[in-house]
Amino acid sequence: MTPHRDLIVNALLTPEIVRELSAQKWDLLIRQGRRTNLLARLANVLTQQGLLENVPIATRHHLTSAVLVAERQSIALRWEVECIRRALAYAGIKPILLKGAAYVMAGLEAARGRTFSDVDIIVPKKLLGETESALMIHGWQGSHHDKYDQRYYRRWMHEIPPMRHVKRGTTIDVHHTILPETARLTVNPAALLAAIVPVKDFADLYVLQPTDMLLHSATHLFHEGDFESSLRDLFDLDCLFRQFSALPDFSETLALRAATLGLSRPLYYAVRYTTLILDTPVPEVVRSEASLGKPSALISWVMDICYLNALRPVHSSTNSFSAWLARFALYIRSHWIRMPFPLLAYHLGRKAFIRPKSYDIEKSVADADLKA
């Protein structure tokens, strides 16, 4: 099955095409790049290829502005990570960074031109209470104060409710594993946390080891029902494959590690769609061994139809009934694989028909923001 390759993907994979773009195509490229959070990445690619100076000046302003925003966010994220590290150090807790924060602090290629909406960390489940308390002492406030939402997160999910800093307005997601405890895939969090590696120049800050970092990125993308940043996340996987494949033993151990963690299926999807959509040079040994996670022929066919339509820019130029239907089907799937049907039916029914209560604590936080 051959995927449709949109303009933003073409420009990132074969940047030479920008030499021939009309003003109308440049307008479309900028809009697709901004919508997919890939505009700064495109600017970096064009700079590396010596093509940025050939871009029309008005268009170039959009690209350079996107780079400045990404660089500013990277600086702000580093400061936020330092604030989190200091807050948890008082409690003797050493956080493990996930996703974008991990890419930045580990100095990975995937961090170049990337933007961020929050910081994700993971800690052992037994330390959740201490972690939450330490963050609250240092200015982070919990959310989702409705009793049902609290139970939903704390009993069934892989994280506590997001926490927001009352002064900076930044958000942190605190995980204790990488999939909900009710999910159909059973992850081995003990094995995941037993193989963390320290961030350079920090004794109390960690990231997942390379195999696990890629597997977590794949798991996040292929269990999500929100596709606003899915193409950006697919390019993250492309970067991780390209950079990590050069490491000793990475390719030979990736599939085995996926099996150990219970993540063979997400690895298969990561290999399948990065190679199919982005021509990612995944080593042959990884391609071969990842096929152990392949679903049945019928499911594979359905997933190809869905993901080849869904992993496109969520933009007016690519909107179609097939793309909408694919994303809707994958949204339903994301809930289906997140929890067993009786619990899912109860959860969706409650969300549909019962309005959550507002709590005074939310008002007090808002008031505090206004007074600060």
What is the b/e burial string over 322-356, where b = at least 16 CB atoms within 10 angstroms of the residue's CB?
ebeebbebbeebeeebbbeeeebeebeeeeeeeee
Give the pLDDT score at 355.
Answer: 65
Q: pTM here? A: 0.91
Give the pLDDT score at 356.
Answer: 60
pLDDT tens across 229-283, in order? 999 999 999 999 999 999 999 999 999 999 999 999 999 999 999 999 999 999 9
Of 278, 195, 262, 36, residue with least CA distance to 270 = 278
Q: What is the CA radius of gyration of the chain?
A: 21
Return the residue matching tokens 């999939």: 179
Give the pLDDT score at 1.
Answer: 67
Give the pLDDT score at 364.
Answer: 38
315: left (phi over 0), alpha (psi -120 to 50) or beta: beta
Give the pLDDT score at 147.
Answer: 86
Give the strand pairing for 197-198 and 96-98: unpaired
Give the pLDDT score at 97.
Answer: 98
> Does position 362 have pLDDT exceeding 80, yes or no?
no
pLDDT band with cut points at 50, 70 and 90 for residue 363 = very low
> Does position 308 have pLDDT exceeding 90, yes or no?
yes
| More confident call, 354 vs 38 | 38
pLDDT tens across 176-185, in order? 999 999 999 9
CA atoms within 13 A on the CB side of 134: 21
CATH 3.30.460.40, applies to 73-371: yes
pLDDT band with cut points at 50, 70 and 90 for residue 360 = very low
d(CA 123, CA 177): 8
> Does position 372 have pLDDT exceeding 70, yes or no?
no
> Does position 371 have pLDDT exceeding 60, yes or no?
no
205 CB contacts (<8 Å, ≥6 apart)? 81, 85, 94, 95, 97, 105, 198, 199
Q: Is residue 189 within 8 Å of residue 74, measured between CB atoms? A: no
Give the pLDDT score at 341.
Answer: 86
Count of other CB atoms within 10 angstroms of residue 257: 21
> Does position 193 have pLDDT exceeding 60, yes or no?
yes
pLDDT tens across 40-71, in order? 999 999 999 999 998 999 999 999 999 999 99
Of 222, 216, 264, residue with least CA distance to 240 = 216
pLDDT tens across 120-174, in order? 999 999 999 999 999 999 999 998 878 888 888 998 899 999 999 999 999 999 9
d(CA 277, CA 161): 34
List the domain boundaries for the chain.
73-371
DSSP string, 272-325: HHHHHHH-----HHHHHHHGGG---HHHHHHHHHHHHHHSS--STTT--HHHHH
Give the pLDDT score at 146.
Answer: 82
Give the pLDDT score at 369.
Answer: 39
d(CA 133, CA 186): 28
